């Protein structure tokens, strides 16, 4: 279940929000004046979202150091679009 709370709860009920984020292992969405403003998540949740990306960026950095081949931004985006299209056509 999505947990949506007013941003004022961050100040007034921080321990409760912290416990929810950590124990439920799901994010808490904060609103201000009825509109979403931010998402709170545990470090574990954040790591799950970013670790794979960081690993792939490290691999790309290594590849760039070992090669002189460079792509234009259009080539990069064309390859990315092709990869996305190939995966959605499965």
Per-residue pLDDT of 4-55, as tens digits, reads 999 999 999 999 999 999 999 899 999 999 999 999 999 999 999 999 999 9
Nearest residue to 32 via CA among 62, 11, 49, 53: 11
Nearest residue to 29 via CA among 9, 56, 55: 9
pTM for the full predicted model = 0.64
- Which sequence spans correspond to the domains of the chain? 3-41, 45-88
pLDDT given for residue 87 in this prediction: 83
CA distances (Å), 52 to each of 22, 34, 63, 65, in order? 21, 33, 17, 20
Give the fold, CATH level 3, of 3-41. YefM-like fold (3.40.1620)
For residue 63, pLDDT beyond 70? yes
């Amino acid at each position: 279940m999505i947990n949506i709370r007013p941003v004022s709860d961050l100040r007034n009920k921080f321990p409760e929000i912290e416990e929810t984020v950590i124990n439920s292992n799901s994010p808490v969405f904060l609103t201000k004046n009825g509109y979403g403003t931010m998402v709170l998540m545990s470090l574990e949740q954040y790591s799950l979202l970013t670790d794979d990306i960081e690993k792939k960026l490290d691999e790309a950095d290594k590849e760039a150091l070992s090669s002189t081949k460079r792509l234009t931004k259009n080539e990069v985006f064309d390859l990315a679009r092709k990869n996305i299209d190939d995966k959605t056509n499965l």
